Structure 1
Amino acid sequence: MSSEPKSVTTVSDPQPGGVALSSMLGVRLKLARQTKGMTLKGLAVSAGCSESLLSKIENGKASPSLPMLHRLVEALGTNIGRMFEEVDGEEGIVFRAGRRPLITLDPLRQGDGITLERVIPYSAGHLLQCNIHHIDVGGASAGPIRHAGEEVGYVVSGEVELIVDDRSFHLREGDSFAFQSERPHHYRNNGTKRASIFWVNTPPTF
């Protein structure tokens, strides 16, 4: 994790509370919508956002919040991973340190930011999705989020607060957790140093 990453997905002017994504996100959302035969208004209604905001997202002029992005891809019958073209490693088996794709969440609303390091780069056929969540001091996930599935995590370093339903859990290095993804959940780093969580969920939703 100390070597240079393969790629970092960013956007030059992220919106507050948004996910910092490359401009290709809007193009891929629009293509997925058109492929599914949905109108801009139809998708906006399904995702619970305004038609004008969705238009800005598709044109790369705004970034969706993480919860909104979940709702958009759910309405499109896909997942967030499909919005990124990620290439498998050696025969789709080995993914070298420092060469795994990164997704950087918007620092304007998420404290000092969150970076998701893909342990399993997106590829059709995976039943599991796995990322290392690197959370800077003060960083917090947008949420709470809820979706179909199940997830499990292991705190690799640092300390984090995990909130599931209305319950708050203070987790330290070496602690683990598991819960059904339908339960509202989010997390934050209230510690004094960067934290990392090895996080697995199924089915893939990000």
Structure 2
Amino acid sequence: MPPVLPEPSPWVFPEPAEWDPEDDLVAMGGDLAPGTLIGAYSQGLFPMPTGGRRDPMGWFSPVRRGVLPLDGLVVSKSLRRSARGFEIRVDTAFEQVIDACGDRKRPDGWITREVREAYLALHQLGWVHSVEAWRDGRLAGGLYGVAIGGLFAGESMFHRERDASKVALVGLVEILSDGEERLLDVQWRTDHLATLGVVEVPRAAYLEKMRATLGSPLPAEFR
């Protein structure tokens, strides 16, 4: 089933020509309605809380965007061995995945109740997907993100067993490596993600690549 088109958003984001070339934060305010979120991701933006519950939502487009080239994923010998012990599933435990990613015990947590409900609604409409690593019938790790055409905008990942989130990432890359025009966005490059092959690209280059992928068909596993 194709994703269900949400009601159009009443909010209008600034055009890229208006964005501060030195600031990742592009806009503030709006809401997290499905139409607003799909419109934002289609323009290269993603939301993130900027403070407390009453503070306006921030909309970001990093000046240096973190992306993972599908042919650049670094899989160590130990990770390859670990992967043999897990089963990859798609969309079988989305709520468990987002709740584990939003565990308040995690440092720098940003998944508020409002964010959780917004992405759960998008998942129910077919726009957000989880890739999960299971072992012996237990959810060991996973990730979730927004899929629009050939764009997969990764949001968060977690693990309960060693290497489980990395194995889910390997599974995601395999899903996306189907010969179509694809882009795997991870927002920002961190030292940890760099060890897996994530690189930085200038904002303009990211936006150009993103626009080229939006018309691609969804991967079969996300349909």
The TM-score normalised by the length of structure 1 is 0.34
Where relative contact order (Cα < 8 A, 6+ residues apart) is larger, the structure is 2
The TM-score normalised by the length of structure 2 is 0.32
